[in-house]
Structure 1
């Protein structure tokens, strides 16, 4: 089974890092906002941001008044990690950001209370490996917050075909909301809440709050 992501993805995001926030600000805000109802209320404890990109979750947590003990971001791209580092201090909690693959996280087992994964699932060559890693690093009963592209709407299926032909940054596949839910259940998570949303006129998103079921 694959334990890492293609190096082509890392190279493309290294190239895009400096312009990423400017180009994708609207999408990032809308996708993270879909998770806000599950973030702003409960105590999050130690938070792991998988595929953290330029670190936009950290200021969002601070803006929403989230209760955080520590924040760690992991991203495949060293360029994105460099852009994320200056944002870590906004919440006043301990923070770090490191380069690493979502499919082989450089994180100790059962060391986080909350894991967040935003717009990463579609890149993973093996979703089962990635979700198993997320479950591994969460304490028993820890929470996973997941948001990704929803392939179910017709416009997203058409967009999927176009993206596979036109984008330099190649992804593995989109999943429908039903498929994402099934993947979470197979990986040992209990789904507590689901939501649908949009980012702009095109992007359709599905979001989940799930708990790691003790083995």
Structure 2
């Protein structure tokens, strides 16, 4: 990727800024991984687009990674799959040269998600994408954090394509991906039953949402959540969550 091309990759700029905190809390969640790997089927060669540190790359397949952020590439562990500096919208590979292409929690960072999905469809015979559903009316209210403390989350995904459009672009079927209550991967929704975790700075630093909403919204959300945890108001509102082992918070798997 040339310096001239780099400014066109907003996800790379974001993760160059926040990626240093990523490995502290962003680990492979085995139950989500099993769902992704099962969707890969019998694919032997796999392209991982927006690969980050490679958390969900299957160890038993021939993986090639694509990651535009130098910070994220630098944190990939020794012995991990070879990684190419490129953007999803312009994959430097020939047509149908991979059995499968996968993308995990990265599509919302792409400059042009639809173009990136079409590129994945071009270079692979099978496509597996973990993304987020904004089609459902009132989707912002699925998660108490965005409903009660961070309404700005809606603006983060304001220009995000509808799930139906993304699925249609690659002729994919859609499957929900529940988030376990003890999710090992510290993604934004991971601590839905462990609210005090959102008060920890090192936890928030590995979530792109906070960088996007800005420090003022973050400070307000953290302050109000802390107050409600201390007063017991959060528990009054969300006490029913204690009985759940997993929650549907809008994560979806596209499989084509």
Q: Which residue of 1 aligns with 2:176?
A: 195
Deviation per residue, 1:21-49 (Å, 9 max, x gap): 11333xxx34x733523514832211010
Deviation per residue, 1:164-202 (Å, 9 max, x gap): 77xxxx766456xxx3243222x24242x5123223318
What is the aligned length?
180
TM-score, normalization: structure 2?
0.59
Q: Any residues of structure 2 matched to 1:10-25 within 5 Å, and which?
A: 10-25=12-27
Question: Structure 1 pair 171/188, CA: closer, same or farther in 2 (3 Å)?
Answer: closer
Q: Unmatched 5+ residue regions in structure 1?
A: 89-94
- Between the aligned partners of 1:162 and 1:135, the Cα distance in structure 2 is 32
Q: Unmatched 5+ residue regions in structure 2?
A: 180-189, 194-247
Write 1 or 2 for the structure with the bigger share of helix. 2
- Between the aligned partners of 2:158 and 2:69, the Cα distance in structure 1 is 17
Matched, 1:56 2:55: yes
Q: Which residue of 1 aligns with 2:97?
A: 111
- Of 124, 127, 133, the residue aligned with 1:144 is 127
- Between the aligned partners of 2:101 and 2:48, the Cα distance in structure 1 is 6
- Between the aligned partners of 2:85 and 2:34, the Cα distance in structure 1 is 26
TM-score, normalization: structure 1?
0.68
Structure whose CA Rg is larger: 2
Cα offset, 1:55, TM superposition: 1.3
Matched, 1:210 2:252: no
- What RMSD, in angstroms, separates the aligned Cα atoms of the two structures? 3.1
Deviation per residue, 1:91-146 (Å, 9 max, x gap): xxxx31111111111222211111111111212333221111111111xxx22111
Does the 8 Å CA contact 1:73/1:96 hold for their aligned counterparts? yes
Write 1 or 2 for the structure with the bigger share of strand. 1
- Of 103, 107, 114, the residue aligned with 1:128 is 114
